[in-house]
Structure 1
Amino acid sequence: MGSVSPYATSQGKRYRVRYRRPNGTQTDKRGFKTKRDAELFLSTVELSKAKGEYVDLSAADVPLGTAGARWVHAREQLLKPSTFHSLESSWRIHVEPKWGNRSLSKIRHSEVQDWVSEMARTQSATNVLRAHGILSGILDAAVKDRTLPSNAARDVALPRKGTKRKAYLTHRQVELLASTAREPDLVRFLAYTGVRWGEATGLRVRHLDLPRRRARVEENAVMVGTNVIIGTPKSHKHRSVPIPPFLLETLMLRARTRGRDDFAFGDGAHPLRLPNSKDGWFASAVRRAQGMDPELPRVTPHDLRHTAASLAISAGANVKAVQRMLGHASAAVTLDIYSDLFDDDLDDVSDALDRARTLSLIEDTSEDA
C-alpha cells in the first residue's frame, strides 16, 4: 500500500501520495488540498493496480514527437518501402509539425477534430486519413502501454474518400493505345493480364512459363521517391496469371534475346519507371489515341488493370477466375470493386424470374383445364 503525508506550502497545508507502480518503482503525486482527496486518489490507484487497469499518467508527459518517431521507426521493417515512404512523409509533413512538441497527455479530442477539419480544406481525403491514422496509432500505442487512459483521436469525424469512376477500354481502344505507345507490348500485357504496373515491370524472363501460357507474379517494382525498389507483390503473395495466345510471339522473342534474370519489359537491365508525368510516354500515347478516337477515356496505367477485368467478364469469365487473375483476397473483394460490371447479371436475373413466372402460370392454367 502507499502512504499519504502532509507538507507545508505558501498556500497552506497540502498532501502527498506515495505509491508503487506495477513494476515496483516508487512515485508520488502532490498537491491534494485535503487528506480525503489524497486517500481517495490512493484507493483509486490501488484498485486499478489490482484490476490490471493502472495507467501511469506521469509517463504521458513525453512529447508526441519522441513517441511518434519511435512508432514510425518500428514500422519501417514491417511495411513495404512504398507504403513506409508515404507514412514517413505524412508524419514529417503533417503530424510532427502540429503535435511534435505536445505532451501525449495534453492532446484533446476537440483539438484533433479541429486539425482534421482544417486539413480537409486543403488536402485530399487520402492525405487526411493517413495523417489522422498516424496520430491515432501513436496514441493507441500509449493506451496499450498504460500511459494514457484513452485515445483523444478516436471517434473523430473524418472525410470520406470519393468513389472514382473507373475507365474501361474496349479491345479496339486497347489496340489503338498500344499502337501509339512507346511500349506497345507492355500496354497489351497490362490490359489482358490485369497485373499491376509494378508487377509487370518487375517481371523477369524466368517468370515466364510460355509453354503453359502463364506468367508468375513474384516481384514488384515500385517507385520510392526517385528510386525503383524491387520487392514482393502486394500482400506478399505470389500468383500465376494466364497469358492470351496472341501475346506469346512477342514474349517468346524477348525470352530468346534476354537472360533469365533480365526484365521482360524495358531495356531488360532496369525496370521501367512509372510514367507519372503528364509529358511521359504513357500520357502522350493516350493523347494521341484520343486524337484518333475522341470516345477513348483518359486512362492511367492502373486503368488497364480495370480494363482487363472488364474484358475478362465480358468474355464470360466467372468472378472466381477474375479474382485469381487479379490477385484479390476473395471473390467478394472483386465483386465490390467491379460491381458495376455485373449490372447485366441483374438483367439476366430479372428475365429468368419473368420466364419462370410465365411458365408457372401456364402450367397452373393447364392443370385447371
Structure 2
Amino acid sequence: MATIRKRTLPSGKIVWLAGYTDGSGNRRFKQLPTRKEADAFIIQARSEVAQGIHVPDSQSMTVGRTADEWLKSVEEAGLERSTLVHYRAHVNEHIRPLIGGLKLSQVTTPRVYAFADDLKAKGRSAETIRRSVQSLGRVFRYAKGRGLAGQNPVTDVKLRRSKREAARVEIPSREELRAILAAAQGRWRPLIITAMFTGLRISELRGLRWSDIDLKRKLLTVSQRADAWKQIGPPKSKSGTRDVPLSPLVVSTLREWRLACPKGEPDLVFPSGAGQVEYHSNIVHRGWYPTQLAAGVVIMVDGKDEEGRSAKVPQARYNFHALRHAAASMFIESRMTPKRVQTIMGHAAIAVTFDIYGHLFEDDEADQAAMRTIEERILG
C-alpha cells in the first residue's frame, strides 16, 4: 500500500513522506519537498516494483562509484584508447564533481537537465555539455543492465543546439588552396595533396599503406588508421572502410613519392623519417602550419616581434581538418550526389553529410528556375 503524508520537520520546514512496499515486501519511505514530487515518485516506484526493477535509496550506489565500474567495464571491452580518455574526462571533470555523490535513485530527468545547466553556468561549451550528458546516459545504461538502477533518467533528455548557433565549417578558398599547393614542399607535399583531393582524415592518412593504393585503377582503400598514440587499428566505424577515387594529380604525385618514401615494416605511405607511424603533431606543426605561412594563408594575432615587443604576427589560418572540408566542397561542386559524398567521406549517415555540408548543396539557379515555374503556373 502506498501512502503520502505531510510532515513538519523540527526546523519548521514542510516535506512530504512517500511510503510504499518494495518487491521484497519491505516497507520503504522517501522524503520529498513537494506533494507533486511525492505523487510522481509513488507512481514511478510502484511501476518499478511491478516490473521487478526497483532499487531503494538505501541500496542504491552513488553515481561516482557506478561511473568507476562503468569505466572499468569499457576498458575491459577493449574500446579505443582515445575514446577511453574522453570518457574518463567526462566522468572526472564534469560528472563526478557535480553529481558524483548522488545515489542513482536520486537522479531524475529534471536533475539531469539541472546538471546540464550547471555545466553551462561553469562556462562549458555546448558540445562538452552534450557529450558529458551522453556519458552519464551510458553510466545509467550500464547500471540498469546490472540491476543497479530501475530507470535511465537521461533517455528523455533532449539537448538541442540552436541552428543559429551552429557555425558553418571554414573551407579554404580556391585561391588559398592554389597558394598552399604552390608552397607545399618536401615530404609534406604528397601528404597535403592527397588530403586535399581525397578528404581522408589525418588519422587515416597516418595509417595509409602502399598496399591500400592501386595507382593503375586510380583508387585508394581506407582500411586502417593510426590513433594519437601511433597505434594502428581499424577505422572507427564500418562506414570508415571505403574506396576513394584518385585524381590524376594525386596519382602522379604518389607515383613520384613512392620512390623517395622512407621504407619501414608498416609499409606506410606517409611515415616518419624512420619509416614508422608519424605523430599527428609533427604533421601539423612541421608541415601544415609552415606551409600555410609560406603560402600567406594566415590571420594576424597578438604576439611578439623579433625584438620582443607586442605586435601583430601571422598565424596559420586553418587546422588540418580544413583540407577534408575542402575536398568535400569540391566533390559537391563537381555534382556528386549527397549519397556518394557520404560514402567517399566515410560518414556514418547521410544526416552527418547534410549537417556539415548541407549549405553547399544549395543551387541558387535551380531554386530561381523552380520559383519562376511556380509563378508561371499560378499567373499563367
Verify same fold: TM over 0.5: yes
Q: Are residues 181 and 85 of structure 1, via their aligned partners in 2, closer, same or farther at CA, if it must alter by over 3 Å?
A: farther
Q: One-letter code of the match for 2:55?
A: D
Q: 1:340 aligns with which of 359, 367, 380?
A: 359
Answer yes or no: is the 8 Å Cα contact 1:125–1:159 preserved in 2. no
Distance 1:127 1:203, change over 3 A: same
1:12 match: none
Distance 1:125 1:292 in 2: 28
Instruction: Give 5+ residue unaligned stretches, structure 2.
Output: 1-19, 31-42, 301-314
Q: What does the per-residue CA deviation read over 1:334-362, in whole Å, with 9 as the maximum and x for residues that have no partner?
A: 2332111122x24214325636976x89x
CA contact (8 A) 1:206 1:261 kept: no
For 1:270, what is the secondary structure of its paired residue?
A: coil
**In the alignment, what sits opposite 1:142?**
143
Deviation at 1:146, TM superposition (A): 4.7
Aligned residue identity for 1:348 = A
Give the AA of the match of 1:350: Q
Report the secondary structure of 2:226's partner residue. strand
Among candidates 271, 279, 299, match of residue 277 of structure 2: 271
Deviation of 1:198 (Å): 0.8
Asked if 1:189 is matched to 2:194, the reply is yes
Conserved 8 A contact 2:210-2:268 = yes
User: 1:260–1:247: structure 2 CA closer, same or farther, 3 Å change rule?
Assistant: farther
Q: Corresponding residue for 1:5?
A: none
3-state DSSP of counterpart to 1:228: coil
What displacement does 1:68 show?
Answer: 1.2
2:267 to 257, 262, 267: 262
SS, match of residue 261 in structure 1: coil
Over 3 Å counting, the alpha-carbon distance change for 1:328 and 1:151 in structure 2 is closer
8 Å CA contact 2:181, 2:193 repeated in 1: yes
Alignment deviations for residues 214-239 of structure 1 (CA, whole Å, 9 cap, x no partner): 1110111121xxx2232211313411
Query: Which residue identity is paired with 1:116?
Result: A
The equivalent residue for 1:98 is 98
CA contact (8 A) 1:205 1:261 kept: no
Cα deviation, 1:140-176, whole Å, max 9, x if unaligned, reads 4434555444445565574737423222234442231
For 1:123, what is the secondary structure of its paired residue?
coil
Letter in 1 for 2:358: S
Residues 1:231 and 2:249 aligned together: no
SS of 1:240's partner is strand
The residue type paired with residue 357 of structure 2 is: Y
> What RMSD, in angstroms, separates the aligned Cα atoms of the two structures?
3.9
Amino acid aligned to 2:204: E
Q: Is the 8 A contact 1:109 1:152 kept in 2?
A: yes
Q: Distance in 2 between matches of 1:280 and 1:73?
A: 37
Distance 2:49 2:130 in 1: 38
Distance 1:308 1:210, change over 3 A: same
Following superposition, the deviation at residue 274 of structure 1 comes to 2.4
The match for 1:217 among 213, 222, 226 is 222
Specify whether residues 185 and 114 from structure 1 end up closer, same or farther in structure 2 by C-alpha distance, changes over 3 A only: same
Q: 1:112 to 1:270 in 2, by over 3 A?
A: same
| Alignment partners' CA distance in 1, 2:339 and 2:155 | 37
Other-structure match for 1:24: none
Superposition deviation, residue 330 in structure 1:
4.5
Letter in 2 for 1:301: F
Note closer, same or farther for the CA distance 1:110–1:261 as it changes in structure 2 (3 Å cut).
closer
Q: How many residues align?
A: 325
**Aligned mates of 1:152, 1:332 — CA distance in 2:** 26
> 2-side partners of 1:330 and 1:111: how far apart?
32
Matched, 1:287 2:293: yes
Task: Flag the 1:277–1:93 CA change in 2: closer, same or farther, 3 A.
Answer: farther
Q: How far apart, CA to CA, are the structure 2 residues paired with 1:353 and 1:110?
A: 46
In structure 1, distance between residues paired with 2:143 and 2:269: 47
The sequence identity of aligned pairs, in percent, is: 25
Please report how far the alpha carbon of residue 29 of structure 1 lies from its aligned counterpart in structure 2 after TM superposition.
4.0
Letter in 2 for 1:210: L
> Partner letter of residue 320 of structure 2?
P
Distance in 2, matches of 1:58 and 1:298, equals: 54
Secondary structure, counterpart of 1:309 in structure 2: helix
TM-score calculated relative to the size of structure 1: 0.73
Task: Measure, in 1, the Cα distance between the counterparts of 2:284 and 2:265.
Answer: 33
TM-score (norm 2): 0.71
Corresponding position of 2:307? none
346-355 or 152-161: which moved more? 152-161
What is aligned with 2:327? 308
**Quick check: 1:323 aligned with 2:342?**
yes
Shift of 1:98: 3.2
- C-alpha distance in 2, partners of 1:334/1:19? 49
Q: Which has the larger radius of gyration?
A: 1
Residue pair 2:113, 2:157 contacting (<8 A) in 1 also: yes
Which residue number corresponds to residue 55 of structure 1?
54
Aligned to 2:120: 120
Q: Which residue identity does 2:275 align to in structure 1?
A: A
What stretches of structure 1 of length at least 5 have no aligned partner?
A: 1-16, 22-26, 33-43, 365-369
Partner of 2:368: 350
Residue type at the aligned position of 2:369: D
CA contact (8 A) 2:23 2:54 kept: no
Contact 1:181-1:285 within 8 A present in 2 as well: yes
Q: Which amino acid aligns with 1:311?
A: M
